[in-house]
A and B are shown apart, each in its own frame.
Chain A
Amino acid sequence: MSDRILGGVCVALAIFYVWAATQIRLSFISDPVGPRTFPIIVGILFGLSGLVLMLRPDPDPAWPNAGRLAEIAAAVILLAGYASLLPRFGFVATTAVTAGFLSWRLGARPAAAAFAGLAISVGIYVVFHLVLGLSLARGPWGF
């Protein structure tokens, strides 16, 4: 069933993709193939692979239960939040919180996780910024 759904999603995506490829503006000079043809070919092959998957699916993989899926969803939201807040609050603070949270969800006790978050954040800051000179996001406090 999972494969059928994936196949179906891919077929839908492929139809959209091919449609979008036909909407590509043509420029006044062009080679014989033009910018549309290859994306259309790729889109069609993508759709055909999806169709085969719909018709001949493999057995289902073992999907995690709802709790685990929620864990992963929470991690995705956390990382997205991290990405958007990184420029505002700087590297060290945001990274400490994010790494700590991930470490907690991966099984560390809360206190250990908070410490790990801080250690990972400061460790990366020291190694990559202070030693190797990589530019990291600067927050209001300069780090």
Chain B
Amino acid sequence: MDVLSSLGDGFTIAITWQNLGLAFVGCFLGTIIGALPGLGPSNGVAILIPLAFTLGLPATPALILLTSVYYGAMYGGRISSILLNIPGDEPAMMTTLDGHPMALKGQAGEALAISGLASFVGSFFATWGLVFLAPQLVKVALLFGPAEYFALFALAFATLGGLASRNQAKAALAATFGLAIAMIGVDGQTGVPRLSFGEVHLYDGIDFLVAIVGLFALSEVFVFLEHRKPGEDGAPRPALGRVIPPAGMVRSCLGAMSRSTVVGFIAGVLPGAGASLGSFLAYGLEKKIAGNAETFGSGDPRGVAAPEAGNNAAAGGALVPMLALGVPGSGTTAVLLAMLLALNITPGPLLFAKNPDVVWGLIAALFIANVMLLLMNIPLVGLFVRVLMVPTRYLMPTVAMVSFVGIYGISGSTFDLMVMIVFGVIGWVLRKMDVPLVPVILGILLGNQMEVNLRRELTISNGDWTALVHSPLAIALWLVAVAGFLAPLLVGRYLRPRSASPIADEANSGD
């Protein structure tokens, strides 16, 4: 099997002291980022990208660091869900339903352990899914011409905005806003400046890293300023209890874990669904299978295992379209895409042919990160619990300052910092208005490629616009795009978990 031999090569790339060290640091930071309410995978990775970039890390180590953070954040989100009843990030929302009742019953340690194990099962098997599915998808993607890519981008916008949003108009508004920003700067094909109004700083366009850090990280600070309650202190530290779950509990959860892994992985691969949907569907399915719904919601271990396996499997699944097609399946993978683009690596089918070392090194690193995370998360969970107690009044200023350091490090330009602040304010307003941020990011990231593909196709066809739907593949992609955009109008209510607390919803709209 050449997939396995490629994976073997990947391991030889990933297993160096430097890469193992980066994976370790990434896992550790990621777990903390995931656990802290207000910092989720997308804004955590967003803050770290400019730093990894300015530190001058080569592509493979930088990716290993950031994907370890990404996987780590998926593990970490459960900690505050269980102990504080506040989801550490949005995908961990479903974990509060049974996790916190377990903690109240004095089973916090067991809940953390079983969810850690479920996270491992979910992401481990999802990474195997990635290994086998991504190369298959690459084979399909090699058939794509510019028209198909243009349709694929449209599909990404339609579904990413569509499924994740309550209001299609707002999703469309967000996507077109992002695309509109992407158009600013010198046109790559004719060399004329566009929409930059004579401002030299705008000739290069707006750096997507500046926009991402502003929208995701800085807006968070404003959300916390808005919601501060006077005299608020860190919550009291709950007792952990035993951190090794009884074998019987593990056995009773195995079925839930394996089913949730499958459900989560599929949800992750589908564009636009992402980890939140993965955990939501997994929880719903287990509740239905269990039949006696009373134990669910009052501390059933299966209700902890299912959403955690689901969201971690979805995190792995979301990497499939991101790596194979260059089209991310969730908010955080959109941020990882930004990372790749910043390193001058264009994901997509050619990545597998031209930079197999990057792809397979990354995948091998995911396996390593997973094992590290399991080892870290079961015995060391007490340490993370202590970090969780850092009050936001010290955490948020740190987040803001690190954001500034990262962006200043890239360009050393005050203008970029100002643009970042503007994006921070825009991000806050959009969150308040329930406009999803992910399509904005995706628009900024993919806008230029989308236009290039459109113009390439029309150059080939000599200006004939019907060329955009000349192949069955393109037509199929357009149909899926339209269906994906319209479907939530009909069934959206069933696909979106209702948020328990508005602040968690607002604070975590990143993923």
Q: How large is the interface on A (under 10, 10 to 19, 20 to 34, 35 or more residues)?
A: 35 or more
Which of B221, B414, B421 is the one whose CB lies under 8 Å from A86?
B414
Q: Taking chain A's interface residues, is the majority helix, strand, or loop, or is none over half, making it mixed?
A: helix
Closest to B188 in A: A35
Say yes or no for B179: interface residue by CB 8 A criterion.
yes
Closest chain A residue, CB of each to CB of B431: A61
* Contact A84/B414 with A10-B173, A42-B180, A102-B397 known, Cβ cut-off 8 Å: yes
- The answer on a CB contact under 8 Å between B455 and A120 is no
Expressed in whole angstroms, the minimum distance between the Cβ of A31 and any Cβ of chain B is 5
Report how many residues on chain B are interfacial, defined by Cβ distance under 8 Å: 71
Partner of A33, one of B193, B391, B405, B463: B463
Given A52-B169, A120-B394: A29 in contact with B190 (beta carbons within 8 A): yes
A-contacting residues, B419-435, CB 8 Å:
421, 424-425, 428-429, 432-435
| Contact of B285 with A by CB under 8 A | no
Given A53-B173, A71-B225, the answer on whether A120 and B401 have CB atoms closer than 8 Å is: yes
B425 proximity list for chain A (CB < 8 A): 76
Q: Of B27-35, B86-94, B227-235, B363-371, which binds chain A?
A: B227-235
Instruction: Give min CB distance, A127 to chain B, whole Å.
Output: 10
- CB contacts (< 8 Å) of A27 on chain B: these are 190-192
Task: Compute how far the CA of A77 lies from the CA of B69 in the bound complex, rounded to whole angstroms.
Answer: 32
On whether the beta carbons of A86 and B432 are closer than 8 Å, the reply is no
Determine if B404 is an interface residue (Cβ-Cβ < 8 Å).
Answer: yes
Across the interface, do A117 and B169 meet the contact criterion of CB distance under 8 Å? no
The distance in angstroms between the C-alpha atoms of A83 and B170, with both chains bound, is: 31
- CB closest residue in chain A, given B189: A31
A103 to B433: give the CA distance in the assembly, Å. Answer: 26
- The B-contacting residues of A in range 66-121, CB under 8 angstroms, are 68, 71-72, 75-76, 79-80, 82-84, 86-87, 91, 95, 98-100, 102-103, 105-108, 113, 116-117, 120-121
**Considering only CB atoms, which chain B residue lies closest to A36 in the complex?**
B194
Residues of B within 8 A of A128 (CB): 51, 405, 409
Partner of A61, one of B224, B394, B434: B434
Task: Fill in one digit per residue for B179-202: 1 if any A CB lies within 8 Å of its CB, else 0.
Answer: 110010001011111110100000
Looking at B170, B173, B398, B425, the one whose CB has the most chain A CB atoms below 10 A away is B173
Taking CB atoms, residues of chain A closer than 8 Å to B432 are 2, 61, 63
Known: A99-B401, A105-B225. 12 other contacts (CB 8 A): A38-B451, A45-B172, A49-B172, A63-B432, A68-B226, A75-B221, A79-B421, A98-B401, A107-B391, A120-B394, A120-B401, A124-B401
Residues in chain A within 8 A of chain B (CB atoms): 2-3, 6, 10, 17, 20-21, 24-27, 29-35, 38-39, 42-43, 45-46, 48-50, 52-53, 56, 58, 61-64, 68, 71-72, 75-76, 79-80, 82-84, 86-87, 91, 95, 98-100, 102-103, 105-108, 113, 116-117, 120-121, 124, 128, 132-137
- Which residue numbers of B lie inside 8 Å of A, CB to CB? 51, 54-55, 166-167, 169-170, 172-173, 176-177, 179-180, 183, 187, 189-195, 197, 218, 221-222, 224-226, 228-232, 391-394, 396-398, 400-402, 404-405, 408-409, 412, 414, 417-418, 421, 424-425, 428-429, 432-435, 447, 450-451, 454-455, 458-459, 462-463, 502
A-B pairs with lowest CB-CB distance, top 4: A32-B463, A83-B417, A106-B393, A46-B176
